[in-house]
Amino acid sequence: VGSPFHKNLKALLSHLIVYVLVYGFYGEKVYVGSSQVYGQALCRVDIPDDVCWECIALASSKIQERQSYGSTTASCATLTRTSPA
């Protein structure tokens, strides 16, 4: 839990959740020594900011839970309703 990887992961996830709402897309690499963590997040323009934020927050939480079991990926998707043409 207190490993350099875990600290880098927490820093990365906190940056993604903030900066993706500012820029719409955000990618970053966080590293200390040989422990590197990469991540990307995208909020589509047709999805409200609060929905995107909740989705990324949920994915971030899942990544931190699964990291203990060796899995360090998670994703989320939102459904959008389109009007008939």
> Could you read off the pLDDT of 14-44 as tens digits, one per residue?
999 899 989 999 999 998 877 888 888 988 8
Q: Whole-prediction pTM value?
A: 0.72
Are 32 and 24 in contact, with CB atoms under 8 Å apart? no
pLDDT in the model for residue 7: 86
Residue 47 DSSP code: S
DSSP reduced 3-state for 1: coil
- Tell me the CATH number for domain 4-67: 3.30.430.20
Among candidate residues 35, 22, 19, 25, the one with its CA nearest the CA of residue 67: 35
Q: What is the pLDDT of residues 55-73, one digit of tens each?
A: 888 888 888 777 665 555 5
